[in-house]
Each structure stands twice: as structure tokens, then as C-alpha cells.
Amino acid sequence: MSLLKNAIDSIQVGVEDYLMEEEDERRCLSAVRNICAGILLLYKEKLKRLSPEHSKEVLIKQSIKPISDENGNISFVGDNDKTVDFYTIKKRFKSLNIKYD
């Protein structure tokens, strides 16, 4: 499943949980959790789209490693499957001059 689809699904489930809150008060907590998760996934999608082609989605990876090509040019690629947390997203958004609320 793509990040964007997962984000949309999480937000939709969060809204549904909120609307069902009167039936079960635990739904309110579930709504907040799902909407926050959806927003976090939207932020990751933004970083993914900004990642250079062939960089293994470098901007959403927690671990980044430098590589050099045959001409000695250095670039950075994502090093593993672990993705950034909220605090790393904030730092990357700041360094890329991306505004968010």
C-alpha cells in the first residue's frame, strides 16, 4: 500500500471513529490516533516526493549513507527500511523551508 493511500485511509478511519464517539467514548482516542498517523504519513509522502530519483527515498529514511559514483561525485541514499520520526521530519522540513501547521 502506498504512503498516500495509507494516509488517506488513516484519516478516513479517524473521522469515522470521531463520528461514532457517542456510541463508545474510546472512539475519540482512536480518532486522534488515526488522524495523527495519517498526517504523519502525509508528511512522509511529501519528503518521498522531494527525494531525488535513484536515492532510495533518502528523505524519508532514518539512516542515510553517502556513496560516490565512478567520477567521484558524492550523493546520499537511504540506508535501510526504517523511516523518519516526527522530530526528524520537522528538522528536514525546516532545512528544506517547508512550512506546515
Write down the pLDDT at residue 1: 75
Write down the pLDDT at residue 36: 97
φ, ψ (nearest 5 deg) of residue 45: -60, -40
Cβ pair 46, 98 in contact under 8 A: yes
Write down the pLDDT at residue 61: 97
Distance CA 32, CA 63 (A): 29
Average pLDDT over residues 49-63: 95
Give tens-digit pLDDT for 63-93: 999 999 999 999 999 998 999 999 999 999 9
pTM: 0.88
